[in-house]
Amino acid sequence: MNSLHIDNRGIVSDALFIESPNQDHRPPDSEITLIVIHNISLPPQHYGGDGVIRLFTNQLDPKAHPYYAEIHQLRVSSHFFIRRDGSLLQFVPCQRRAWHAGKSNWQGRENCNDFSIGIELEGSDFDAFEAAQYTTLNRLLVALQQAYPITAIIGHSDIAPGRKTDPGPFFDWSRLQLSA
């Protein structure tokens, strides 16, 4: 498994970097200690298109799909997106705050975007994830744990219970290879 490198801005080698405007500075003295795993597909349960890229770059055409008409005005992003084939895209440098968690709480700390990295997996609550996605996710997790003082890797559902369900019941937590 080839290792990934994270530069001093928080850009990952081997990732296709497409900068999202939906980002800002982290609060002063906010260490990156949390990784939040999500799932996303646009349109829902359709894989391989450019909907996620368009959403994260504020270019989603509300006429392209009925679901897009409901969400095209959202201003959201994630640090990373792992496609079904395992390819890795990055939208926000790790040193900056991506807008992925929304209203959230982890162990008494509000606003998880302040201290977390968001990783979106192309998928849904209704389909299993691909082996290539776990391979890329594990490479990324190792790099992130080497670069930052990560204390927990959790799902979006863990920081927004009742509001979010991802990464969903088909995400196999046992396939994560965490560094010691």
pTM: 0.97
The model's pLDDT over 89-102, given as tens digits with 9 standing for 90+, comes to: 999 999 999 999 99
Buried b (16+ CB within 10 A) or exposed e, 1-33: eeebebeeebbbeebeeeebebbeebeeeeebb
So what's the architecture of 16-175 in CATH? 3-Layer(aba) Sandwich (3.40)
Backbone angles phi, psi at 55, to 5 degrees: -60, -50
The model's pLDDT over 118-177, given as tens digits with 9 standing for 90+, comes to: 999 999 999 999 999 999 999 999 999 999 999 999 999 999 999 999 999 999 999 998
| pLDDT exceeds cutoff 60 at 180 | no
Query: In the chain, where are the structural domains located?
Result: 16-175
| Catalytic sites, residue numbers | 120
Give the residue among 105, 125, 124, 127 at the shortest CA–CA distance from 116.
Answer: 105
pLDDT value of residue 179:
65
